[in-house]
Amino acid sequence: MKTVEEIKAAIEAAVPGAGVEIVLNPSVSAQHSLRLASAHAFEVATFLRDDVELSLDFLSNATGVDWPDKEVAEKVKVTRSVTRTLDGVEQQVEETVEETQKRVVPGCLEAVYHLFSVSKGHGPVVIRMKTVNRTDQVQLPSLTPVWRSAEFQEREIFDLFGIVFTGHPDLRRLLMWEEFKDYPMRRDYVEPDDFEYEPTAHDEVLKRAQEHRAKLAAAEMGQEGATA
Amino acid sequence: MDDGLKIELGKQGIFVTTIEELYNWGRRSSIWPMQFGLACCAIEMIATTMARYDLARFGAEVFRPSPRQADLMIISGTVTKKMAPQVVRLYNQMAEPRYVIAMGACAISGGPFKQGYNVLKGIDRYIPVDVHIPGCPPRPEALLHAFITLQKKIDGQHLTGEDRPRHLNPEAPGEFSVPVPGEHDLEPTSNKGVWPVPITIR
Amino acid sequence: MSTSGFVQDKEMRPGWNRPPLIEPDGEGEVLELAMGPHHPSTHGVFRMDVALDGERVIRLKPVFGYLHRNHEKLAEGMSYLGSMPFTDRLDYMCPLTNNWAYALAVEKLTGQEVPERAEYLRVILGELTRVVNHASAIGFLIQEMGASGTPLMYAFKEREKILDLFEALTGARMMVNYMRFGGCRVDATPAWLDAVRKVVAGLPKFADEYENLLRGNEILMARTQGVGILRPELAVNAGVTGPMLRASGINYDIRKVDSYGIYSRFKFRVPLGEHWDIYDRFMIRLLEMRESFGILEQALKDIPGGPVMDPKAKLRGFRPKPGEAYGRIEGPKGELGFYLISDGGPNPYRYRIRPPSLINLTILEDMCLGQNVADVVLIFGSVDIVLGEVDR
């Protein structure tokens, strides 16, 4: 079984310009993964399946991960020109100050695939693909034509995360009903408010129950005001 | 009529009863459930009908797959929001007199999956339930106990008067409104006629 | 429900394993039928939209989600150990193997060691679960053939004996919540091991009785031989695992390939099918049950003493280091895997269950096309799914 570096070299030899990078896995399992760029991902996948040595003919698991936008506070050295008085004369001086700047690292959605080989008996080889952002550019190439087992799993990723797989034969929702509008497994999903009655509410549920009751009371007052 | 006289007459071969007793005895001794298993509790329900805890000796001789031919719907397992319209439709299709046993924590109130976005927090939001059995899953003996409780409830029903059962009361609702899947949730989230939202007094 | 599944295949890259397109023969109309979600012979709430030309199936699209209870979202709000009871409710016919798969995935993530006695107990309980599952699966298949529950009664008779053992050890018949990260929760007493030995001694007689009742039955053979054929290369490409894959002739048993736990110490054979049809899947399950009896006898003979829990295991404040791991076992239904991403906190960042039943259903359409609608029920029964795992 080849190591991750050898697999990366084999991919780059077969599909030039593939855009493969290694993602190290710091845990004890040491299952490192390869991140593929979307442009040539389909050719890379076909190579992984058809290569004689790797022969990864079995896609075991395909899933999605949500990485939301993160606010990062960094200490940055900023050079600015400031007016200072030196020896009684006003001058423009360059000063370097260390400041804490906040910036938002844009999040993305990621699809992770675990590949094994039934003929050779080795695995797992983990490949990942990232979308550009979480809002409008959420397309990734579908790997269903390469491994048929991705058919339902990619539909599930579309249903729960919202990644659109181009080239999938039948991309519909799998687990939720067709009229459903949200993507439930995303980190910013808000659950519907059906906790009208909670006998021993505490913590978060108590907060939501109180908000719900306040909303009901406001609606009732609004109605009374309208009819009065 | 007091019991001593009944027994004496019985020894002479004369059997005294009321129509109410006879009617209820016939109904409670032949409740045929519907084959309706949703999740894990369904396996315990099947185990209750198998050789060790035999449900058939209490009158549940066969499990009918068709709702038209069944008297009892044992909601065994989690009812999800995708499945809820079908459950209510099946209940509407059952012929009166019909009963519902909510088996397991999931059918009573959502159970361990109560925080789920797809889980209906209790089937009694949409249809009236006669017996609730707690448990996850309830043991087969608990399901037998629920069945016997239902039989006792049927025995105690009066055929005339204010609290007569639904099938003898022409004003009682026969069909319950089926919820429609909306954009974020079912619409409506509960049937106000069946499940009045309780007010907590703290 | 608004849409049926009969959308036209969009622009496709050529050469992939698409289901064959069957044209109706022009006489009469095409009937579109929804089988389920409440149907006397589904294994739970599952719907199949079939298009029929007379009795032949032209298209078949499965619809799931009727039992979607979002285990994955729940686990993100709970600690690692808190989702262990929920794994019982995934594949509710085999709760112990689900527990084992999750414990294995977390042990891969953190590198914990499991003591020997715990490994032997895991093997004993896992193989007992396999026996229960295979017997019940055959029982349900034969019931859908119209046998009105007699083989199922035999299977459940044995199941009750084994559930008594589970209850004595773990406290619950079904939802056991027994495995922990680094071992098992409670130790087994010598009296319990003797009870297991007695039950296991009676199991080969049960298997003989079961097999003699069913194997030569004419109706079974006529209805299942040559029906629902699954070609081996299609099976591998579609991600099929478990008895279905071995019935298509592929020798891939994760107990032999990965050798997780202490399976390398036991001698057992892997039965393979030659004709790739429903009858092969039925026979494979019977033969695997017999192999499990062998493993059980060997494990019960060799089980050592000692602790059942890793003494260095951290029970409170369990926070694995950041990283990810994918751990899988050979469950009775196929490859059950858990994929965990940890960010250093007490809750998992991403908790994914690889459900064998869902992925085995990918190929249901291919197996059923061109067959009669009455065979669809049998083919579906031979896949042996549990909806709690499909929908999670």
At A85 the pLDDT is: 67
- Answer positive or negative: Cα dihedral of B169, B171, B174, B179: negative
Specify whether C52 is located in the same domain as C158. no
In a domain, C81, yes or no: no
In a domain, C307, yes or no: yes
At B16 the pLDDT is: 86
Phi, psi dihedrals of residue A152, rounded to the nearest 5°: -75, -30
Nearest to B199 by CA among A65, C334, A217, C350: A217
Q: Residues A77, A96: contact at Cβ < 8 Å?
A: yes
With cut-offs at 50, 70 and 90, classify the pLDDT of residue C318: confident
Summarize the confidence of residues A207-224 as an average pLDDT.
76
DSSP C21: P
In a domain, C343, yes or no: no
CB pairs under 8 A, 24+ apart, for C73-79? C73/A184, C73/A185, C73/B116, C73/B117, C74/B113, C74/B115, C74/B116, C75/C347, C75/C348, C75/C351, C76/C347, C76/C348, C76/C349, C76/C350, C76/C351, C77/B115, C77/C347, C78/C347, C79/C318, C79/C346, C79/C347
In a domain, C90, yes or no: no
pLDDT value at C117 more than 50: yes
Partner C contacted by A124 (CB < 8 A): yes
pLDDT value at C28 more than 80: no
Specify whether C121 is located in the same domain as C50. no
CB contact under 8 A, C324 and A178: no
Provide residues of A within 8 Å CB-CB of chain B: 175-177, 179-182, 184, 189, 191-192, 194-197, 199
Placement of tokens 């091991």 in the chain: C193
With cut-offs at 50, 70 and 90, classify the pLDDT of residue B199: low
What is the 3 state secondary structure string of C27-93? CCCCEEEEECCCCCCCCCCCEEEEEEECCEEEEEEEECCCCCCCHHHHHHCCCCHHHHHHHHCCCCC
Chain A closest CA to C331's CA: distance in Å? 14
Residues 6+ apart with CB under 8 A from C252: A118, A121, C241, C245, C246
Two tokens at C79? 């600690």
| Rounded CA Rg of chain B | 19
Give me chain A's average pLDDT, please.
Answer: 82
With cut-offs at 50, 70 and 90, classify the pLDDT of residue C325: very high
At C8 the pLDDT is: 39
Q: Residues C60, C379: contact at Cβ < 8 Å?
A: no
How many independent structural domains does chain C possess?
Answer: 2
Query: Which of A38-47, C31-40, C58-67, C378-387 is the least confident region?
Result: C31-40
CB contact under 8 A, A27 and C72: no
Give the domain ranges of chain A.
4-67+109-166, 71-104, 200-228
More confident residue, C147 or A115: A115
Q: Residues C238, C335: contact at Cβ < 8 Å?
A: no
- The Cα B17–Cα B15 span in angstroms is 7
At C2 the pLDDT is: 31
Q: Residues B37, B104: contact at Cβ < 8 Å?
A: no
Specify whether C48 is located in the same domain as C189. no
pLDDT value at C5 more than 50: no
Query: Which of A197-206, B117-126, C377-386 is the least confident region?
Result: A197-206
At C10 the pLDDT is: 41
pLDDT value at C13 more than 50: no
CB contact under 8 A, A175 and B118: yes
CA-nearest residue to C2 within chain A is: A178
Placement of tokens 């059980």 in the chain: C296
Q: Which amino acid is at B48?
A: T
Summarize the confidence of residues B112-124 as an average pLDDT.
86
Q: Residues C359, A156: contact at Cβ < 8 Å?
A: no
Nearest by CB to C108, from A29, A121, A170: name it: A29
* Three-point CA angle A102, A108, A109, nearest 5°: 150
CB contact under 8 A, B184 and A181: yes
- The Cα A141–Cα A165 span in angstroms is 5
Give me chain C's average pLDDT, please.
Answer: 87
Q: Chains touching chain C at 3 or more Cβ pairs under 8 angstroms?
A: A, B
Read off the pTM. Answer: 0.90
- Give me the DSSP letters along A79-137: EEEEEEEETTEEEEEEEEEEEEEEEEEP-EEEEEEEEE-TTT----EEEEEE-S-SSS-
Helix axes C373-383, C116-142, angle to 10 degrees: 170
The domain that holds C122 is classified in CATH as 1.10.645.10
* Three-point CA angle A79, A81, A87, nearest 5°: 125
CB-count burial class (<10 Å; 0-12, 13-18, 19+) for B119: buried
In a domain, C154, yes or no: yes
In a domain, C325, yes or no: no
CB contact under 8 A, C326 and A149: no
With cut-offs at 50, 70 and 90, classify the pLDDT of residue B141: very high
Chain C closest CA to A228's CA: distance in Å? 42
At A102 the pLDDT is: 81
Specify whether C54 is located in the same domain as C128. no
pLDDT value at A1 more than 80: no
pLDDT value at B114 more than 80: yes
Two tokens at C274? 């030659």
Phi, psi dihedrals of residue A124, rounded to the nearest 5°: -85, 150
Domain residues for C203?
111-316+371-391
In a domain, C324, yes or no: no
Per-residue pLDDT tens digits for B145-194: 999 999 999 988 888 877 777 778 777 777 888 888 888 888 887 787 78
CA-nearest residue to C111 within chain A is: A28
Specify whether C384 is located in the same domain as C255. yes
CATH superfamily of A4-67+109-166: NADH:ubiquinone oxidoreductase Nqo5 subunit (3.30.460.80)
3-class secondary structure, B46: helix
At C240 the pLDDT is: 92
At C4 the pLDDT is: 37
CB contact under 8 A, A184 and C17: no
Q: Residues C248, C232: contact at Cβ < 8 Å?
A: yes
Specify whether C149 is located in the same domain as C293. yes
Specify whether C252 is located in the same domain as C172. yes
| Alpha helix segments (H runs only) across C143-264 | 150-170, 190-214, 218-224, 232-237, 243-247, 254-257
Per-residue pLDDT tens digits for A103-142: 888 888 999 999 999 888 887 889 999 888 888 888 899 9
Q: Residues C200, C328: contact at Cβ < 8 Å?
A: no
Nearest by CB to A180, from B183, B197, B198: name it: B183
CA-nearest residue to C19 within chain A is: A148
Nearest to C143 by CA among C161, C159, C155, C131: C155
- The Cα A101–Cα C209 span in angstroms is 76
CB contact under 8 A, C86 and B117: no
pLDDT value at B84 more than 60: yes
CB contact under 8 A, C174 and B139: no
In a domain, C329, yes or no: no
pLDDT value at C167 more than 50: yes
Other CB atoms within 10 Å distance of the CB of residue B27: 18
With cut-offs at 50, 70 and 90, classify the pLDDT of residue C284: very high
- Answer positive or negative: Cα dihedral of A46, A49, A54, A59: positive
Placement of tokens 């084959």 in the chain: B35
